Amino acid sequence: MIKRSKRTERRNPTGLSPEAIAALNGRPATLTTAPPDPDSETAWMSTGNCRLHPPATFFPSDGVGVDKARKICRDCPVMGRCLEYALEERIDHGVWGGCSERERRRILKSRRQDVDASV
């Protein structure tokens, strides 16, 4: 027989509205953020699929996490720009543009070899 916990997952046991709970806690009911500056170098980030997921998703500690992040990146409208940003800024950690740290190192090495071969 499987024992089940008697704890129920109730997020709001008081029955108060989210606005009332926010007021009691001294917090705003909704968080407002400034719209991205369209002239910013990183304005493209506001249209990426990653904005819909927690940042930890893109900084996994195992291969399974990398695959999960890649699936999110696969259909992203800014995937190419994201990868180029990570390569230009030499970002060492996380999944950017659908590529892991190791894949980005290989891309950079390949580009260096191509430049050396053409000189």
In the prediction, which pLDDT does 57 show?
Answer: 93
- Do the Cβ atoms of 48 and 76 come closer than 8 Å? yes
pLDDT, tens digit only, all 119 positions of the chain: 566 555 555 566 677 887 887 788 777 777 666 676 778 888 999 999 999 999 999 999 888 899 999 999 999 999 999 999 999 999 999 999 999 999 999 999 999 999 888 87
In the prediction, which pLDDT does 38 show?
Answer: 77
In the prediction, which pLDDT does 66 show?
Answer: 94
In the prediction, which pLDDT does 1 show?
Answer: 58
> What does the chain come to in residues?
119
Per DSSP, the residues of 30-55 read S---PPP-TTSTTGGGGGSGGGGS-G
